[in-house]
Structure 1
Amino acid sequence: MAYAEKRVSTAKGSKGKVSWRARYKKPDGTWGSEPGFPTKKTAENWGDEQEAAMRSGRWLDPDLMRTPFGVFARKWMASQSPRGRTVMNRWERLDTHILPKWEHTPLIAFNWFDVDAWARSLACAESTVKDCTGLLSLILTGAVDAKYLSVNPLYGRRSSTNTSAATVPDQPTAGEVQQWAPPEAVLQVARRLGPVNGLLPLTTAFLGPRWGEGIGLHRAKTLLQRREPYNGGWFECPILRIDVEVAEYVGRGADGSKQGVVRRLEPPKNKWSVRDIDVPPFLADLLARHLATWPHPYVFMTPSGTWWWRNAWWELMRPAADGRPARPKARGRAVKEAWDPIMHGMTMRRLRHTHDTYQAQIGVHPVLAFEQAGHRYPGIKGTYQHPTPKMRQQRLDGLQEVFEQAMRNLGWRALWESEDSAKFASQS
C-alpha cells in the first residue's frame, strides 16, 4: 500500500521547508517515489492512484514520461527498419530541425501550441515543415505504444499556415526553371549524350521511372510482354517491370552516427511503385537495339558497368542540357566542341514530371496515368476503376505520336544517325 515520507529541506535559505514524498510499489515489486507534495494526504492519495492504475492495467511510469525526447527518439529510430533512404531522410530532419529544438524536452511536456509555433518559425520549404511535424508526431505515437505517454498531443493536428517571411516556397515562382521538358528538347539532349547514356533521359521522359528505379532496371526485367484478353483476342505490348531500385544514402548507426555512403538494391518506396510500365514502339525498338550489344546486367550503367552515382550523372547531364564552351586539345584531355544550351536546368526529376505531363497532354485516363507513374489513385475510384487494354493502347499511341511529331519538328529521320555505343564509350 502507498504511503508518504516527510522531507525537510536542508538547502541554504530554505528555512527547513517541509514537503512530502509519495512511495508506491511498482509492478515489478520495487518501490517508486514521487517528491514535492505539500501535505501527507496528497502524497498518499497520489500513491494510491498509481497502485489503482496498475491494478487496472493503465499505469504509466512517471520516470518514463519525463524521458528527454532525444533519448527516446534515438531508441525509436533504432527499432525501425524502413528503406535506407527513408532512414537517412528521417535523420536529416532530426539533426537539422527537430533535435536542436526538442532534444532535451521531456516527453510529457509536449503540447500542440508549442509545436505549432515552432513549425511556423522554421525557415524551410513547407513540405519540409510538414515532414518534421509528421516525424515528431510519429515518434510521440511510438512513445504511446511503448507506454512512455498516455496520449500523443500531436495526433490528428494540422499546422496552421506558415506566414513567416523566411518560408521557402515548394513550387517555382515566375522566372524559374520550367518543370517539364518539350519533347524536342528531350530528343536533343538524348542525341547529345549518345545512344548509350541518351537512352536514360529519353526513357525517363516517356516512361517516368524514378532515378533509382531507372538505374536499377535489370535487363531481365526489360521488354517483357503484357498479354491481356481484348476484343475477342489478345492485347500485347512490351513492358518494363519495376520491382527494385538502387538506393543511395548516408548509412546511420543505431545512435544516428554517420557510417558512409551506401548504395544497394531495395524495394521501391511503396506498393504502388511496384508496376509494369507499358513501352511505346519507338522506345521498345531503341531498347532492344541497345541490349543486343550491351554487355552489362543493368540497362543503364556507366560504360565500365557500375551504377551511376548521382553526382557523376549530374556532371554528364548538365553540359548536355545547359551547354558548354569549346575546350581545345591539351595533354591528357580530348578536344570538346562547344554546345549551345538546349534547356537550362533539365534534371531527371523534371523529366519524370515531363512523363506525367505528356500523359495529361494526350488524355491518358487518370487510373492508368497513376498506375504507370507509380502513384496511388485516390478515393473510392482507386478501388473500383482499373486500366483496360483500350486505355493502354491509347496511351501507347499518344506517346508514339509525341515522339514522331518531335522528330518531324526537328527534321530528323533517326535519333542517332552516325553514333554507336562503341564510339560513345571511347569518348566518355
Structure 2
Amino acid sequence: MAFAEKCGRDSWRVRYHRDDGSIGSISGFPSKTAAQDKAAEIKVDQRRGKFIDPEAGKLALGEWSVTWFDSIDVAPATLAQYESLTRNHILPRWGNTSLSGVSGLAVHTWGKKLRAQGYAQNTVNTIIKIMTMMLVDATDERLIPVNPIQPRRRGRRRHQKRREQVWATPEQVVMIALQAASLVGPWAAVLIITAAWTGLGGVNSVVCSASTLISMPVADRCAVVAAFGGGSAGVAPGLGAPESA
C-alpha cells in the first residue's frame, strides 16, 4: 500500500508499507498529482512483486560485503583471494559508496586505472568479477533494481601481449642453407640465402624464423625446402621468373 501526503507548504511525499510492517517514505514531490502518480506506481510494483525499496539501495557496499562474504561457499584459497582483493582494492575505493550509487561506467574506468598502475589484467578482471557478483546478489535480494556492471561492448581494446617473432641470425641462415644443400641440392641453398638477404619470395617467412627449420626433423626440413623451391625433395625445380629468385 502507498499513499501521498503533504509534508510542507509546497512539498509532497509518498509513504509506503514495507514487508516488515514499517513505513518508508519518498520526499521531494512538487505537487499532489506527482506524489499520487508515484504512489500508484509503487502499488502496481508491489502487486507484481517488483517493488524495490529505495532505502535498501542506500546500504554501503562495505556493509553489504560483510553479509555477502558470509553467504558464499567457495574453496578456502578462492575465499582468501577474494577477501584480499576486496580488502586492498574494492573497499578503499567503494566501501563507503551506496549500492545504488555504484556506476558501471565508473567501475570500468577504475579498472582501466588499475591496469595503468601496473596491475595484471587477470588481477583486474578478478576484482571486477568480485564486485559484479556482489551486485548481482544485491539485485537478487532486491536491494537494487539491476546490476550496474555490464560487459563492455565497444571502446575496449584487447589487452594481450603480442608474441615476439624470433628471427634467425646470419650464421643460422647459412647453417640452414648448408643443410638444405646437402639434403636437396645447391639450388636450395641459393634460394634460402637469396630470400633471407633480399626478402624475395615467400620462403623468407619460414626459413628466417629460428624456431622453424632449425628445430625440424631432417625429413621435414627437406619437404619444406622442396615445397618452397617449387619441386619435390631431391629434384631441382625450375626457379621461374627472375623476380622470384
Measured against the shorter chain, the TM-score band is 0.5 to 0.7
How far off its partner does 1:87 sit?
A: 1.0
Check 1:142–1:67 CA distance in 2 against 1; reply closer, same or farther (3 A cut).
same
* Rounded Cα–Cα distance in structure 2 between residues aligned with 1:7 and 1:155: 39
Question: Is 1:79–2:74 an aligned residue pair?
Answer: no
What is the aligned partner in structure 2 of residue 147 from structure 1? 142
Which secondary structure state, in structure 2, belongs to the residue aligned with residue 76 of structure 1?
Answer: helix
The residue correspondences of 1:243-322 to structure 2 (distance < 5 A) are none
* Amino acid paired to 2:71: S
* Rounded Cα–Cα distance in structure 1 between residues aligned with 2:162 and 2:89: 21
* Amino acid paired to 2:129: G
* Amino acid paired to 2:69: M
What is the aligned partner in structure 1 of residue 121 from structure 2? 126
* Amino acid paired to 2:156: S
The CA deviation string for residues 84-112 of structure 1, in whole angstroms up to 9 with x for no partner, is 11111001111111111111212122222
The answer to whether the Cα contact below 8 Å between 1:27 and 1:54 also exists between their aligned partners in 2 is no
The answer to whether the Cα contact below 8 Å between 1:2 and 1:23 also exists between their aligned partners in 2 is yes
* Rounded Cα–Cα distance in structure 2 between residues aligned with 1:92 and 1:118: 18
* Rounded Cα–Cα distance in structure 2 between residues aligned with 1:6 and 1:171: 65
Aligned counterpart in structure 1 of residue 131 of structure 2, from 136, 147, 165: 136
* Amino acid paired to 1:5: E
Check 1:137–1:79 CA distance in 2 against 1; reply closer, same or farther (3 A cut).
same
What is the aligned partner in structure 1 of residue 5 from structure 2? 5
The answer to whether the Cα contact below 8 Å between 2:6 and 2:13 also exists between their aligned partners in 1 is yes
How many correspondences in the alignment? 162
* Rounded Cα–Cα distance in structure 2 between residues aligned with 1:160 and 1:99: 25
Question: Is 1:67–2:59 an aligned residue pair?
Answer: yes
How far off its partner does 1:4 sit?
A: 2.1
* Amino acid paired to 2:61: F
Kindly indicate which of the two structures has a greater share of residues assigned to strand: 1
* Amino acid paired to 1:83: A
What is the aligned partner in structure 1 of residue 15 from structure 2? 23
* Rounded Cα–Cα distance in structure 2 between residues aligned with 1:126 and 1:54: 43
Which secondary structure state, in structure 2, belongs to the residue aligned with residue 62 of structure 1?
Answer: coil
Kindly indicate which of the two structures has a greater share of residues assigned to helix: 2
Which secondary structure state, in structure 1, belongs to the residue aligned with residue 16 of structure 2?
Answer: strand
* Rounded Cα–Cα distance in structure 1 between residues aligned with 2:96 and 2:10: 30
What is the aligned partner in structure 2 of residue 383 from structure 1? none
Check 1:40–1:21 CA distance in 2 against 1; reply closer, same or farther (3 A cut).
same
Which secondary structure state, in structure 2, belongs to the residue aligned with residue 18 of structure 1?
Answer: coil
* Rounded Cα–Cα distance in structure 2 between residues aligned with 1:104 and 1:162: 32
Cα RMSD (Å) of the superposition? 2.9
The answer to whether the Cα contact below 8 Å between 1:116 and 1:160 also exists between their aligned partners in 2 is no
TM-score normalized by the length of structure 1? 0.35
Between the two structures, name the one with larger relative contact order (CA 8 Å, sep ≥ 6).
1
* Rounded Cα–Cα distance in structure 2 between residues aligned with 1:141 and 1:157: 17
Check 1:162–1:106 CA distance in 2 against 1; reply closer, same or farther (3 A cut).
farther
Check 1:95–1:162 CA distance in 2 against 1; reply closer, same or farther (3 A cut).
farther
Question: Is 1:160–2:156 an aligned residue pair?
Answer: yes
The answer to whether the Cα contact below 8 Å between 2:138 and 2:144 also exists between their aligned partners in 1 is yes
* Rounded Cα–Cα distance in structure 2 between residues aligned with 1:62 and 1:44: 17
Which secondary structure state, in structure 1, belongs to the residue aligned with residue 7 of structure 2?
Answer: strand
Question: Is 1:35–2:17 an aligned residue pair?
Answer: no
* Amino acid paired to 1:146: E
Which secondary structure state, in structure 2, belongs to the residue aligned with residue 4 of structure 1?
Answer: strand
What is the aligned partner in structure 2 of residue 100 from structure 1? 92
* Rounded Cα–Cα distance in structure 1 between residues aligned with 2:71 and 2:162: 35
Which secondary structure state, in structure 2, belongs to the residue aligned with residue 36 of structure 1?
Answer: strand
How far off its partner does 1:139 sit?
A: 0.8
* Rounded Cα–Cα distance in structure 2 between residues aligned with 1:54 and 1:27: 10
The residue correspondences of 1:217-232 to structure 2 (distance < 5 A) are none
* Rounded Cα–Cα distance in structure 2 between residues aligned with 1:67 and 1:162: 35
* Rounded Cα–Cα distance in structure 2 between residues aligned with 1:37 and 1:104: 28
Check 1:161–1:73 CA distance in 2 against 1; reply closer, same or farther (3 A cut).
farther
The answer to whether the Cα contact below 8 Å between 1:127 and 1:170 also exists between their aligned partners in 2 is no
* Amino acid paired to 2:6: K
What is the aligned partner in structure 1 of residue 227 from structure 2? none
The answer to whether the Cα contact below 8 Å between 2:104 and 2:150 also exists between their aligned partners in 1 is no
How far off its partner does 1:170 sit?
A: 8.8
